[in-house]
Structure 1
Amino acid sequence: MDSISDPELLDFLPQLVQALKYECYLDSSLVRFLLRRAIGDIRIAHYLFWLLKDNLQDSQFSARYQHLLAALLCCVGRGLREEFDRQCWLVSVLTKVAHKVRDTALSSRQCVLREGLEEMKQFFSVNSSCRLPLNPALLVSGINIQSCSFFNSNAVPLKLSFQNLDPLGDHINVIFKSGDDLRQDMLTLQVIRVMNKIWIQEGLDMRMVIFKCFSTGRGRGMVEMIPQADTLRKIQVEHGVTGSFKDRPLADWLQKHNPTDEQYDKAVENFIYSCAGCCVATYILGICDRHNDNIMLKTSGHMFHIDFGKFLGHAQMFGNIKRDRAPFVFTSDMAYVINGGDKPSSRFHDFVDLCCEAYNLIRKHTHLFLNLLGLMLSCGIPELSDLEDLKYVYDALRPHESEADATMYFTRLIESSLGSVATKLNFFIHNLAQMKFTSSEDRPTLSFAPRVHTAKSDGLIRNLYICRHIRTVNKGYVFVVKVERDGQQEALLVQRTFEEFHELHSKLRLMFPSSKLPSFPSRFVIGRSRGEATADRRKDELNGYVWHLIHAAPDVAQCDLVYTFFYPLPRDERPGTTSSKPTDTWSPPSGRALGEVKLSISYKSDKLFIMVMHIRGLQPLQDGTDPDPYVKLYLLPDPQKTSKRKTKAARRTCNPTYNEMLVTRIPRGDLDQRVIHLRVLGDGAFWENTVLGETFIPLKRLVPGQHWVDWHQLGAAGSDSAH
């Protein structure tokens, strides 16, 4: 163990502290090893102190940990002993404040919090600085009381803003919890951090957000706050309380914070990787209680989970019904971001491949994760108490299966999670439950506007006029509004859709009585709602609406919501575009190609294994609808058609994912003479199937024992390109 580096030792320090229980003697080689490394690195000394202090609550081994803690304090010297005393004092003050705030009525909590934090000023008048227990690298010199608040969850955690000792550094924001056992959160984040390191070592960066969380005693601790991030609930309710049932909220929010194409594409890439990592990690660890306040999204596109109070499959129950019904959280609004629209695209193939690759990499280290969790069985975490809890992880990792079987298994999990209505219903119920906590001071914001604008900062609007409408790439219409302001020589042109006008009106109704607002044009039309005649009529109706809006009472006409709506966005500089992204990033090759199919082919023990992975770029049917494609293949020559194999049919897509294994027996000597004849057909009614494309793949290129993974071009039936 002497060869292990300090960062690696920190990764496994909680397990080593638990292992001290199994030493025969107090003076053991493990004890000497930990003390020696603590003397050499302040981070190890810091975390070892708090881990030993936390284990003093263990009645069976309390005496042993007291002796070890005394030995550590003796070894580290006077300076660190005084530092640990300051940290304990800080935690004691914060615990007292947290209890007062939690026991106070909701309306008085902010006042009680500010009064309680006055004691922190006394603390910092005596101590010029203090390291936070969360991370010894965080040195604070004071607290910003006006910036502190609390969260409206059951334990009422405190949101604290400390002054950085470094005058050039940002304020340090942390969450202090009292009443929640953070040891389970610590363990979950530790395991996810180890998973992430395995992925990176294998050359797979899943863009995971790993934040710090540390227990400072039973029922209390600190959690790092990630900047520039919002919960999915906050993002979804920008589209109303039913926002969790809609597909666009996440994409619109990312578009709002990443206005250029380059920024948005980078954010989507970060989202694809981090979402895949979250799906794998939360499934393996059986993380439950996944409502939309426990999942967060950064403006950079990184998704991450928080609050791990339920894991290893210990789901919350509604009577006899599990609240978490899906294998993991993967909803249609997440798929919308990945696909760039509501139809599957080639980017979804990348997402599935990432999930399966990440899952298989972790499966190779099954024993490591079972040992990490097994060493924590004696620490007293309620949901990690016996071998059944370890068996949950073993069953999730399926170490006895091949990589191909595991890939097929996880693909089915993705399909099951995406098709689960229970997850969205869970989000919606949580939205309703949180409405009672919504502050009356919270002002509505527009889902597509990155910041708030005011009449004072941007100048009074003199006149508004919708001068024309433009047809967009998705066959809708955007309305061009001419905005004239005081102090501006030239009028500005902004582009807004009818749905965005409707969002403005809906949120104005939350702020003002209907009697103060002009009536809004009906959203419902008879006939084609996207026709030019409808757009002309709506232009006239919207002109009447904005005229009455700008001539309404000043508190309405000059409110921040109106001025934010008519403030130019980056997209307004590109005529004829809207906030929507292209629905697909892949275009089929020129010529007679009808798409491509991705196969993984291998040969072992007289068996040919053909995994049909993905197809991209299929052509729509003659009526313009997407087909229901499936794959059928033969091994030629095969006059009796005994080698026929086929996949299930995917529904309404030109870019299906299958990850299905088709197996057939073939003697080794016949391999070079056989050819795979693969056809993609559209599943039709009454056995009338349409041939969407085909290809012939000679097996003479296949090396037995190796996997041949490649895309193969599809051509028309009987064409040269198919051959």
Structure 2
Amino acid sequence: TGLLAGLKRFRKESLRYTSSLPHYLRSVNWMDHRVVEDVHWLLGNWNPEDLDLTVALELLSMDFPDETVRRLAVQRLESLSNDDVLKYLLQLVQVGSLTVSPLLNCFLQSKRIGHFFFWYVRSEVAGCPYFRQRMAVILEAYLLGCGQAMLNSFTQQVQAVEALQDVAIIIKNLYPNKTNLTPTGGPQTCSDHINEPLCMPLIQLDKCKVMASKKKPLWLEFSPMPSPTSTTPVGIIFKQGDDLRQDMLIIQTLVLMDSIWQEKSLDLNLVPYGCISTGRNIGMIEIVRNSTTIATVQRNHGGTNGAFINDALFKWLKSMCPLQEIMFVKSCAGYCVATYVLGIGDRHNDNIMITDQGFIKQNKLMLLCFPCLLGNLFHIDFVSKERVPFVLTPDFLYVMGRVKGRNSLNFQRFRNICTQAYLSLRTHSRLLVTLFSLMLPTGIPELSAAEDMRYLREALQEEQGEAEAKEHFLQQISLCEQLGWTVQANWWIHMVKEDYSSKKGNFTIT
């Protein structure tokens, strides 16, 4: 009775110190076996359900190789819902067999989780030489239990990806200096590499093209499979030459940020499109329908000089539908905060887009679909990272009524939304840092050192109070206003280069 009462008191007290557990374990002398025995006793009597999810994930980092420590974290993760498993699946795959093995039942019971698990692990087998053997063993264990139907499906998927990869390589070799592909001949399967036994939807070859980019990604349109609910063609960008795990991590973080903001009743209209790495520097990206690039809007209002026309975007929005400024302000604020915190650079006007029609967005929290009106800004292509502020150009400010420094209701709304969103993320800074730190062993080029973690902590102003952090972000807004003309100049240079490349590289395949 005395022992049980003591354990109850211990568990009650342990709740007060759960958040400090990683800090305590870092101070343990793991070379002293008596100390280790005491720590193991402590952890053995710790209720996994009392462990905060963020702490459990942190205990899976490279700082904690001890099996007992990691087992406690895994026991906490075993209680996750399927949605939460998917939310953190990228990291769970990275932290090793001790974590994955107890969760295999979850992967085997859910086809959706199993699909992503297969491709995440297969991508690591193909692209990460340091952990290839371990990942191959994990993948084999899953395939032994997934069933013949899933095996057949994975076989077809792998064949399809390999066929598309062959096509991409052939096009790169045949047309090393070309950018635009306009095939003729009507809808058909794409060469002998993609054939009927794959059970793939037919590629609409007349709608496919090679995009104007040095990596020559393939824009592919597929006829939809028969369905009573949708007849919309399926569009993907098949990309070779970039490590799309970087994009996957950024998009995963955008989804997490969106859920944090939704909990605070902040819907900032992020568009976290689908992206998956299928091998070493190869993968697929979902095409977002009913949208256009900022560069296209600017070209339509002055050619390459449209980069310097401050009211070009405003006039475009008004020509489409009036009163879209609020949608623009909210989405612009969301991506300003997100890209600043994540340190995302390379923001030219071809990888910032805006919706030009209504589209359907799924609310991941309420599992509902609702229409989003035009004017929703969003960013794409997250391969590059730089230590730069976010993009807030004079044409963005013009839409908000911020002309020649004049204040406006929409600009004040923009500032308020930005600070609310930024301060909300700061309350979850430990989770954000943990998720990125768990990805350090992957070898992602832009996430390879502790310096990347320091940047994230500094961007979130972890050491500062709320008032100081708010002022810090308002200073970033002012700085971006001052540097807006330099961004315009860079965008103009980008458009001149793209126009020259497209004129030089147009061709048709018959």
TM-score by length of 1: 0.54
Tell me if structure 2 keeps the 8 A contact 1:378–1:385: yes
1:201 corresponds to? 263
Tell me if structure 2 keeps the 8 A contact 1:113–1:149: no
- Pairing partner for 1:216 from 278, 285, 289: 278
Please state whether the residue corresponding to 1:339 is helix, strand or coil: coil
**Alpha-carbon deviation of 1:437?**
3.0
Q: Does 1:394 align with 2:457?
A: yes
- Pairing partner for 1:66 from 125, 136, 152: 136
Give the 3 Å change call, closer, same or farther, for CA 409–337 of structure 1 in structure 2. Answer: same
- Taking the TM superposition and a 5 Å limit, the aligned residue runs for 1:447-486 are none
- Pairing partner for 1:304 from 375, 378, 385: 378
Q: Does 1:330 align with 2:392?
A: yes
Q: Does 1:229 align with 2:291?
A: yes
Please state whether the residue corresponding to 2:235 is helix, strand or coil: strand
- Taking the TM superposition and a 5 Å limit, the aligned residue runs for 1:170-185 are 170-185=232-247
1:81 corresponds to? 151
1:108 & 1:284 partners in 2: Cα distance? Answer: 33
2:6 corresponds to? none
2:236 & 2:260 partners in 1: Cα distance? Answer: 28
1:301 & 1:108 partners in 2: Cα distance? Answer: 29
Deviations 1:494-525 (A, max 9, x none): xxxxxxxxxxxxxxxxxxxxxxxxxxxxxxxx
Tell me if structure 2 keeps the 8 A contact 1:312–1:383: no
Structure 1 unaligned spans of 5+: 21-25, 130-140, 259-263, 314-325, 443-723
Tell me if structure 2 keeps the 8 A contact 1:39–1:76: yes
Give the 3 Å change call, closer, same or farther, for CA 363–218 of structure 1 in structure 2. Answer: same
1:387 & 1:375 partners in 2: Cα distance? Answer: 11
Please state whether the residue corresponding to 1:270 is helix, strand or coil: helix
User: Letter of the aligned partner of 1:110 in structure 2?
Assistant: L
1:370 & 1:440 partners in 2: Cα distance? Answer: 45
**Alpha-carbon deviation of 1:97?**
0.8
**Alpha-carbon deviation of 1:107?**
5.8
Q: Which has the higher helix share?
A: 2
- Pairing partner for 1:31 from 81, 87, 100: 100
**Alpha-carbon deviation of 1:291?**
1.0
Tell me if structure 1 keeps the 8 A contact 2:160–2:198: no
Deviations 1:666-688 (A, max 9, x none): xxxxxxxxxxxxxxxxxxxxxxx
1 or 2 for the larger relative contact order (CA 8 Å, sep ≥6)? 2
Give the 3 Å change call, closer, same or farther, for CA 111–287 of structure 1 in structure 2. Answer: closer
Q: Which has the higher strand share?
A: 1
2:492 & 2:178 partners in 1: Cα distance? Answer: 26
User: Letter of the aligned partner of 2:197 in structure 1?
Assistant: V
Please state whether the residue corresponding to 1:175 is helix, strand or coil: strand
2:95 corresponds to? 19
- Taking the TM superposition and a 5 Å limit, the aligned residue runs for 1:286-435 are 286-299=343-356, 300-311=374-385, 313=387, 327-339=389-401, 343-420=406-483, 421-435=485-499
2:185 & 2:104 partners in 1: Cα distance? Answer: 41
1:161 corresponds to? 221
Identity percentage over the alignment? Answer: 34
- Taking the TM superposition and a 5 Å limit, the aligned residue runs for 1:567-578 are none
**Alpha-carbon deviation of 1:348?**
0.9
**Alpha-carbon deviation of 1:246?**
1.4
Please state whether the residue corresponding to 2:389 is helix, strand or coil: coil
Tell me if structure 1 keeps the 8 A contact 2:179–2:501: no
- Pairing partner for 2:196 from 125, 136, 159: 125
Tell me if structure 1 keeps the 8 A contact 2:183–2:206: no
Tell me if structure 2 keeps the 8 A contact 1:276–1:355: yes
Please state whether the residue corresponding to 2:300 is helix, strand or coil: helix
Please state whether the residue corresponding to 1:354 is helix, strand or coil: helix
Please state whether the residue corresponding to 2:332 is helix, strand or coil: helix
1:239 & 1:440 partners in 2: Cα distance? Answer: 23
1:54 corresponds to? 123
User: Letter of the aligned partner of 1:279 in structure 2?
Assistant: C
1:392 & 1:283 partners in 2: Cα distance? Answer: 10
Deviations 1:446-476 (A, max 9, x none): xxxxxxxxxxxxxxxxxxxxxxxxxxxxxxx
Number of residue pairs matched? 406
Please state whether the residue corresponding to 1:47 is helix, strand or coil: helix
Q: Does 1:246 align with 2:309?
A: yes
2:486 & 2:84 partners in 1: Cα distance? Answer: 40
Give the 3 Å change call, closer, same or farther, for CA 107–275 of structure 1 in structure 2. Answer: closer
Please state whether the residue corresponding to 2:223 is helix, strand or coil: strand
Deviations 1:132-178 (A, max 9, x none): xxxxxxxxx21111111111111000000011113542001110001
1:63 & 1:128 partners in 2: Cα distance? Answer: 31
Give the 3 Å change call, closer, same or farther, for CA 109–249 of structure 1 in structure 2. Answer: closer
1:204 & 1:391 partners in 2: Cα distance? Answer: 27
TM-score by length of 2: 0.76
Tell me if structure 1 keeps the 8 A contact 2:212–2:502: no
Please state whether the residue corresponding to 2:383 is helix, strand or coil: coil
Tell me if structure 2 keeps the 8 A contact 1:274–1:303: yes
Tell me if structure 2 keeps the 8 A contact 1:275–1:304: yes
Give the 3 Å change call, closer, same or farther, for CA 218–354 of structure 1 in structure 2. Answer: same
- Pairing partner for 1:2 from 69, 72, 78: 78
Q: Which has the larger radius of gyration?
A: 1
Tell me if structure 1 keeps the 8 A contact 2:326–2:410: no
1:64 & 1:127 partners in 2: Cα distance? Answer: 30
- Worse-superposed segment, 98-107 or 343-352: 98-107
Tell me if structure 2 keeps the 8 A contact 1:312–1:389: no
Tell me if structure 1 keeps the 8 A contact 2:293–2:353: yes
Q: Does 1:99 align with 2:169?
A: yes
1:186 corresponds to? 248
1:48 & 1:296 partners in 2: Cα distance? Answer: 30
Structure 2 unaligned spans of 5+: 1-76, 357-373
2:159 & 2:199 partners in 1: Cα distance? Answer: 14
Tell me if structure 2 keeps the 8 A contact 1:233–1:431: yes
Tell me if structure 1 keeps the 8 A contact 2:210–2:217: yes
Tell me if structure 1 keeps the 8 A contact 2:179–2:502: no
Deviations 1:644-674 (A, max 9, x none): xxxxxxxxxxxxxxxxxxxxxxxxxxxxxxx
Give the 3 Å change call, closer, same or farther, for CA 273–111 of structure 1 in structure 2. Answer: closer
Tell me if structure 2 keeps the 8 A contact 1:296–1:305: yes
2:489 & 2:277 partners in 1: Cα distance? Answer: 33
